Amino acid sequence: MELTFLVDNNSLTGTQFLAEPALSMFIRDGEKRVLFDAGYSDAFLKNAQRKSIDLLHLDWIVLSHGHFDHTWGLDILIRHYFEAAIHGQKNVRPMLTAHPAAFTAKRKSVVPELGMLLAEEKLSTQFDLNLSDKPVWLTDRLVVLGEIERVMDFEPPAPLGERREKNGWVEDDLPDDTAMAYVSETGLVVIAGCAHTGICNTVEQARRVTGVSNVRVVLGGFHLQKAKLERLDPTTDYLADLDLEALYCCHCTDLAGKIALARKCPVKEVGSGLTLEF
């Protein structure tokens, strides 16, 4: 498997890739091509073009959850497909998979909408939809983890704003949060979007879904922003006990979180344009 960070909060020194407070990754497993999240703006597309990555021939689009910094770039992607069709460029119709709750309206304080901008009906005209709260295998080694079970007592639900249900607005504990895992020959690679449900809960979900206990690498957003010690310390200890080869924490992990993790874990630098091979 080859994984490229199309966009992250940071850009690596000495490169000219765009960065924004958002996340998008491109994953290639054999002949299958996957876009995991689409960032906030057109930065992911511009960076893909700079990496000579073709997003007109995707097999899958996977959404980690419905927040703006992971989904608002879908509008740009649809424009990309639209212009390709207008100019006679070849393209394929990808399958889009996400938790069904990813499409619910979300709000927080003065922000009237921080969730998806495109409804299912609109997306279904451009992509085939496969909405599921259960695991979805994209290849024989790459899987979307489905709705993540919360089993760690130090990673309790942490509502972020509100979501609109049939009976009105409720605290949003992000039931739509999901992630991916790749089963390599030497162990699991866990690929998180934002890990609103907790990065340790996410790793445990990957173990349950794949049946593989050995975890090789954990990467993505860990949602450790201004994390209190009662959350940060056991998270660090849990990840350290995995005896990882590498820990690529990015996006929604702040500097204090990275420093704490680096004391016990093999933290590596991440930025837009970074490509990893497993």
Say what the alpha-carbon torsion angle 82, 87, 89, 94 is, to the nearest 10 degrees.
10
Torsional sign, CA 80, 85, 90, 91: positive
171, with CB counted inside 10 A (0-12, 13-18, 19+), is exposed
Q: What is the DSSP string of 4-40?
A: EEEE-S-B-TT------SS-EEEEEETTEEEEE---S
Rounded CA gap, 152 and 61, in Å? 29
Q: Which of 32, 165, 39, 25 is nearest to 104 (CA)?
A: 165
Question: What's the CATH number for 2-277?
Answer: 3.60.15.10
Rounded CA gap, 120 and 123, in Å? 5
What does the block give as tokens for 268? Answer: 């590596």
Helices in 66-198 by DSSP H: which ranges?
Answer: 68-71, 74-86, 120-126
User: From first to last of its 278 residues, what are the pLDDT tens digits of the chain?
Assistant: 999 999 999 999 899 999 999 999 999 999 999 999 999 999 999 999 999 999 999 999 999 999 999 999 999 999 999 999 999 999 999 999 999 999 999 999 889 999 999 999 999 999 999 999 999 999 999 999 999 999 999 999 989 999 999 999 999 999 999 999 999 999 999 999 999 999 999 999 999 999 999 999 999 999 999 999 999 999 999 999 999 999 999 999 999 999 999 999 999 999 999 999 99
